[in-house]
Amino acid sequence: MTQRTAPSVRVQAENFDPGREQALLTHGRRNIGALVSFVGLCRDEDGSLESLELEHYPGMAEAEIARVADQALERWPLQGLTVIHRFGRIRPGEQIVLVLTAARRRADAFAAAEFLMDYLKTRAPFWKKERRADGAPDDWVEARFEDDDAMARWR
């Protein structure tokens, strides 16, 4: 009866369609009672940001997200899991990351989605560089201690 849920993990430059991903994840399924969809977007930082350049470590990015996804599957009884993370040039308003979690019950889907985002932010090998709208030199975004705190609460 129980079938092992295989996470879908993608690292890509192209944009993604959350509705299409949701349809793919739920297609033909009748045992999903809750689906949580989280999309991380690029903010314009009150107009000061022209764009982000997202650098990543090819190979490790996919592997590390898959490891985090496997941890989520061990902790919560998920029926489906999709993670997409983009790299390259991303402008304000554009999508950066998608996390979809499907479960019988919403508490598991919510918790797993939040866990995945907290872990991705501190463990997935991506680095954001900001291109400023005022022409100031590009600069790397610094890691936030709050993100480490957010991850630590899952231990």
Partner 1 sequence: MKALYFAWVRERIGLAEEDIAPPGEVVTVRQLIDWLSARGEGYAAAFANPATIRAAVDKIHAAPDAPIVAAREIAFFPPMTGG
Interface residues with partner 1 (CB under 8 A)?
40, 54-57, 59-60, 63-64, 85, 96-97, 117, 120-129, 140-143, 147
What CA–CA distances, in Å, run from 57 to 65, 124, 130? 12, 9, 18
- The CB-of-126 to partner 1 minimum distance in angstroms stands at 3
Residue 79 or 84: the one with the smaller Cβ distance to partner 1 is: 84
- The CB-of-41 to partner 1 minimum distance in angstroms stands at 11
Residue 104 or 114: the one with the smaller Cβ distance to partner 1 is: 114
- The CB-of-103 to partner 1 minimum distance in angstroms stands at 21
Residue 52 or 103: the one with the smaller Cβ distance to partner 1 is: 52
Residue 102 or 117: the one with the smaller Cβ distance to partner 1 is: 117
User: What residues does 140 pair with on adjacent strands?
Assistant: 129
- The CB-of-104 to partner 1 minimum distance in angstroms stands at 27
Helix (H), strand (E) at residue 77: none
